[in-house]
Chains A and B, each alone.
Chain A
Amino acid sequence: KAGVTQTPRYLIKTRGQQVTLSCSPISGHRSVSWYQQTPGQGLQFLFEYFSETQRNKGNFPGRFSGRQFSNSRSEMNVSTLELGDSALYLCASSPRASVGETQYFGPGTRLLVL
């Protein structure tokens, strides 16, 4: 089975712009979670989607949003970019949205905000 794929792998934006990142889960996986990784804050949970519904949300401002499509692919959007949004954004998929499910991670999208 192919793993989790994320596009694009690298992105450079300027402050105030918006960005959309894409994630395709492992075939058959219906749950997609997003995480932000920065040197200062480490790995932090953004949100989780299952069956096109947001099931869980981390402590991030409303500028961060996401959605999931009927084929389980997911996108996350960050509006009005700030310098502090520079990070590696990781997507993870799991078969179900159950506590204790193993999450399988993609390679990430590295976003640089100038």
Chain B
Amino acid sequence: AQSVTQLGSHVSVSEGALVLLRCNYSSSVPPYLFWYVQYPNQGLQLLLKYTSAATLVKGINGFEAEFKKSETSFHLTKPSAHMSDAAEYFCAVNFRQAGTALIFGKGTTLSVSS
């Protein structure tokens, strides 16, 4: 079955440290991949999207993600965490065989300490 897995429901980092949020998908055909961020009591904001044009995708707020087909992964990184990055992050996948529906991972809550 097609699925999305985010490893680690909670990630804690210090301000200035590297942020790494993991996302793996299961599909024999590379899907479209997205990262969204959700701040408390708000909707989802698009961080970045993979469309097969380039394996390294740069998004907003200094975030980037690398698509690795051999590992079926699309991990999100940011070189230096800021306090304002504290939020919940969702990896979402649009499997080509499933129409336009986004399948979401369970989310990872990022905490940033000073």
Answer whether residue B84 sits at the interface, using C-beta atoms and an 8 A cutoff.
no
Shortest Cβ distance from residue A109 to the other chain B in the assembled complex, whole angstroms: 10
Answer whether residue A84 sits at the interface, using C-beta atoms and an 8 A cutoff.
no
Instruction: Describe A's contact surface by its main secondary structure.
Output: strand
Answer whether residue B51 sits at the interface, using C-beta atoms and an 8 A cutoff.
yes
Interface residues of A in 4-40 (CB under 8 A from B): 4, 31, 33, 35
Chain B count of residues within 8 A CB distance of the other chain: 23
A102 with B49, Cβ < 8 A, contacts A43-B90, A55-B99 known: yes
A58 with B101, Cβ < 8 A, contacts A42-B107, A102-B49 known: yes
A48 with B94, Cβ < 8 A, contacts A90-B43, A102-B34, A104-B46 known: no
Name the interface size band of chain A.
Answer: 20 to 34
A42 with B46, Cβ < 8 A, contacts A33-B101, A100-B32 known: no
CB nearest neighbor in A for B32: A100
- Interface contact B42-A107, CB-CB below 8 Å: yes
